[in-house]
């Protein structure tokens, strides 16, 4: 009996010891990663979180790849020769699969990832103690801008999208907003950002969002809604107001698309790219900080020939000569084509990526040249270091002219168009096109052309087409079709937006597919 007792006692002790130790045995912290609870405590965390908002630009559905593809090729400027049929069909207003990953889904997904990052900053940073109030303002201002900027792309491409302004649980089903709701959200965020952001950044912080960038984006958003007066007010600051001192046109047009002259005075909002990191396109260690524009739009054999320019751009440039009777110098910066070397015999070597046009076998193709690296490389890769100028001052001046014209101040508008023309050595508008006079409609039409000549290949044409609703008149649609046969598939009332990814519709009862899809 005695032994039994001893055994039982031992067992009891063992059990109780174990019970005590058990919980500890199963408490295992993740040694690899900081938890969300441990983060968002210090100013440094705020800084890292804000930086993460910028890092979304290096992702495939953002400026790393597909935004270039979407905006330039959907517009009448460009078209796709991608062997991936669905992805080239995507630029032809043909949507066979509403869930196709390269098209429907990728930009949508990246935009909401960016919104998630901005929402984290906006949720957590207000609680972090940061001594310098201006710094804290700037963190929050940048996050407001990033959220608005992601919604801007959603508003342009889909219009009626779910409004997510707080952190989501995996099962959340956010409500769909009207286009007006989305514009209101963008407006609210940008007005806050404008108040919080600094007017300029130190040397080592260049590329961060400034007050001017937020005002420019807000003006663009207002203009898409034809709110000309509101837009003009924002632009006033940049063009005639206090902000004017930060901006100007660079002498050499090409400096807007070179890696050697980045963040210059013409830059209003510029995405910073670098080839220092050349990893993949996901959120992994060493992921790329470059972009793929130069390879996807690149010459066949060097690049992928996924995006090309329509030849009407070439013809348009050749319609007007400079003051001294030469071809528009912007032509050779904007386009690559067969006769480039003969058209510009003194400026061009005739070699592109080290090859002549014949050696490359590029035939009658016309390629975008902005952000191409043909002048300093012989190959292409997925890590172009050329900063992408989302909004530059020439665009601001033309936007300002547009607002003035729409507000009936056509005479005033001439000044700003002429500033842009002057840099290209083109005669003043009045001289070159005397019959426009004070005719608002004629001025508007000319301005539309001026914007193409100055801004083609810079991902703004689709915004312009939507703003001017070129497709809503029979003549307008016919002209679009003449310039770009992809518009044969354009259906009025439907094709100005693309279908929402069907997985989103299926999994969210609060979300309806867009009319017509």
Partner 1 sequence: MGQSLILSNNVVDPTSANTISDALAMAPVVPIYDSNNPGGYGYGDPNTNNVIGENPIAHENLVERKDKNLRIRGTIWGELAILKNLKYRLNLGYELNFDQSKTLRKEGNWRMNMAHESSYVDEYSGRLDKPLIENTLTFDDKFGKHALNVMIGTSYTKETYNRISGKIQDILQTSEGKYYDVLDAGSTLPKVGGYRNIGALLSYLGRINYSYDDKYILTATYRRDGSSRVKKENRWGNFPSVSAAWRISKEKFMSSLNWLDDLKLRTSYGTLGSLNIGYWDYIPTINTFLAATFGTDQLQQNAATQTNLVNENLKWESQTQLDFGFDAISLNNRLTISADYYISKTKDVLTAMPILLTAGNGAGNPVVNAASIENHGFELNIGWKEQRKDFTYFANLNLSTVKNKVTSLGYGRNEIISGQARTAVGRPIGEFYLIKADGIFQNEKEVQAHKNSKGTVIQPDAKPGDIRYVDFNDDGKITDADRQILGSPHSLFQAGLNIGLAWKNFDLKMNWFMDIGSKVFNATKQYMWGADGGGNGDSNYMKGFAYWTPEHPTDIPRPIAGKIENRRDSDYWLENGSYAKLKTISIGYTLPNKFLHRIMINTCRLYVTCQNVFTISKFSMQDPEYRKDNIWNKGYRGTLAYPNPFAINFGIQLEF
**Residue list 191-220, contact with partner 1 (CB under 8 A):** 203-208
Q: Kindly state the DSSP code that residue 243 receives in the 8-state scheme.
A: G
Report in angstroms how near the CB of residue 158 gets to partner 1 at its nearest. Answer: 11
Report in angstroms how near the CB of residue 247 gets to partner 1 at its nearest. Answer: 17
Closest to partner 1 by CB, 262 or 450: 262
Q: Kindly state the DSSP code that residue 260 receives in the 8-state scheme.
A: T
Angle at CA of residue 230, ends 226 and 234, nearest 5°: 120
Contact flags string 366-385 toward partner 1, x per CB under 8 A: -------------xxxx--x
Report in angstroms how near the CB of residue 120 gets to partner 1 at its nearest. Answer: 6
Q: Is 84 in the site for partner 1 (CB under 8 A)?
A: yes
Q: Is 418 in the site for partner 1 (CB under 8 A)?
A: no
Q: Please give the C-alpha separations between residue 369 and each of 155, 209, 333, 353, in angstroms, as whole numbers.
A: 28, 27, 6, 12
Closest to partner 1 by CB, 81 or 478: 81
- With CB under 8 A as the contact rule, the residue among 187, 198, 236, 263 that binds partner 1 is 263
Q: Is 33 in the site for partner 1 (CB under 8 A)?
A: yes
Give exposure, 60-83, as e/b (b: 16+ Cβ within 10 Å).
bbbbbbbbbbbbbbbbbbbbbebe
Rounded (10°) angle between helices 211-224 and 461-468: 40
Closest by alpha carbon to 362, among 383, 340, 331? 340
Q: Is 261 in the site for partner 1 (CB under 8 A)?
A: no
- With CB under 8 A as the contact rule, the residue among 253, 304, 337, 471 that binds partner 1 is 304
Report in angstroms how near the CB of residue 265 gets to partner 1 at its nearest. Answer: 13
Q: Is 173 in the site for partner 1 (CB under 8 A)?
A: yes
DSSP-assigned beta bridge partners for residue 308: 79
Phi and psi (nearest 5°) for 308? -130, 165
Burial class (CB in 10 A: 0-12, 13-18, 19+), 1: exposed
Q: How far apart are CA 209 and CA 501, in angstroms?
A: 30
- With CB under 8 A as the contact rule, the residue among 159, 160, 262, 266 that binds partner 1 is 262
Site for partner 1 in 104-143 (CB under 8 A): 105, 108-109, 112-117, 119-120
Give exposure, 391-416, as e/b (b: 16+ Cβ within 10 Å).
bbbbbbbbbbbbbbbbeebbeebbeb
Closest to partner 1 by CB, 226 or 512: 512
- With CB under 8 A as the contact rule, the residue among 20, 131, 169, 364 that binds partner 1 is 169
Give the CA diameter of the chain: 120
How many of the chain's residues bind partner 1 (CB under 8 A)? 104
Q: Is 393 in the site for partner 1 (CB under 8 A)?
A: no
Phi and psi (nearest 5°) for 456? -60, 150
- With CB under 8 A as the contact rule, the residue among 2, 5, 20, 32 that binds partner 1 is 32
Q: Is 305 in the site for partner 1 (CB under 8 A)?
A: yes
Residue 445 CB contacts under 8 Å (≥ 6 apart), including other chains: none
Q: Is 477 in the site for partner 1 (CB under 8 A)?
A: no
Report in angstroms how near the CB of residue 114 gets to partner 1 at its nearest. Answer: 8
- With CB under 8 A as the contact rule, the residue among 289, 334, 372, 410 that binds partner 1 is 289
Q: Is 5 in the site for partner 1 (CB under 8 A)?
A: no
- Which helix (H) or strand (E) is 183 found in, with range? helix 179-196
Q: Is 276 in the site for partner 1 (CB under 8 A)?
A: yes
């Amino acid at each position: 009996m005695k032994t039994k007792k001893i055994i039982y006692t031992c067992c009891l002790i063992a059990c109780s010891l174990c019970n005590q130790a058990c919980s500890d045995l199963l408490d295992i912290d993740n040694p690899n990663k900081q938890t969300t609870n441990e983060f968002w405590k210090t100013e440094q965390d705020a800084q890292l979180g804000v930086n993460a908002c910028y890092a979304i630009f290096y992702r495939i559905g953002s400026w790393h790849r597909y935004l270039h593809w979407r905006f330039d090729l959907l517009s009448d400027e460009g078209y796709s020769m991608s062997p991936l049929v669905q992805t080239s069909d995507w630029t032809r207003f043909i949507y066979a699969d509403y869930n196709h990953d390269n098209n429907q889904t990728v930009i949508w997904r990246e935009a909401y990832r960016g919104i998630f990052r901005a929402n984290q900053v906006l949720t957590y940073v207000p609680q972090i103690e940061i001594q310098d109030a201006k710094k804290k303002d700037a963190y929050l201002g940048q996050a407001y801008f990033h959220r608005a900027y992601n919604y801007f792309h959603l508003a342009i491409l889909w219009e009626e999208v779910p409004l997510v302004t707080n952190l989501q649980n995996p099962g959340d089903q956010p409500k769909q907003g009207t286009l007006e709701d989305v514009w209101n959200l963008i407006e609210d965020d940008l007005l806050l950002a404008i108040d919080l952001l600094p007017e300029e950044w130190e040397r080592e912080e260049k590329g961060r969002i400034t007050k001017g960038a937020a005002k420019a984006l807000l003006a663009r958003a207002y203009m898409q809604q034809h709110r000309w007066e509101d837009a003009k007010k924002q632009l006033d600051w940049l063009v005639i107001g206090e902000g004017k001192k930060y901006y100007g046109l660079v002498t050499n047009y090409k400096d807007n698309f070179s890696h050697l002259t980045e963040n210059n005075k013409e830059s209003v909002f510029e995405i910073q790219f670098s080839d220092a990191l050349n990893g993949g396109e996901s959120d992994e260690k060493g992921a790329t900080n470059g972009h793929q524009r130069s390879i996807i739009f690149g010459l066949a054999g060097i690049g992928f020939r996924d995006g090309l320019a329509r030849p009407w751009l070439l013809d348009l440039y050749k319609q007007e000569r400079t003051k001294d009777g030469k071809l528009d110098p912007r032509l050779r910066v904007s386009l690559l084509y067969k006769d480039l070397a003969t058209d510009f015999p003194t400026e061009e070597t005739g070699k592109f990526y080290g090859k002549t046009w014949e050696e490359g076998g590029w035939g009658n193709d016309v390629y975008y040249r902005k952000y191409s690296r043909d002048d300093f490389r012989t190959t292409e890769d997925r890590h172009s270091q050329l900063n992408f100028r989302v909004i530059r001052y020439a665009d601001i001046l033309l936007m300002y002219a547009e607002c003035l014209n729409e507000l009936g101040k056509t005479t005033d508008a001439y000044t700003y168009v002429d500033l842009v023309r002057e840099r290209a050595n083109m005669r003043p508008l009045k001289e070159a096109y005397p019959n426009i006079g004070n005719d608002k409609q004629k001025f508007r039409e000319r301005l539309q052309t001026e914007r193409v000549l100055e801004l083609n290949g810079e991902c703004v044409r689709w915004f312009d087409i939507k703003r001017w609703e070129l497709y809503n008149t029979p003549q307008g649609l016919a002209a679009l079709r003449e310039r770009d046969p992809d518009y044969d598939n354009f259906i009025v009332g439907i094709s100005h937006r693309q279908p929402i990814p069907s997985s989103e519709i299926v999994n969210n009862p609060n979300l309806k597919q867009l009319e017509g899809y």
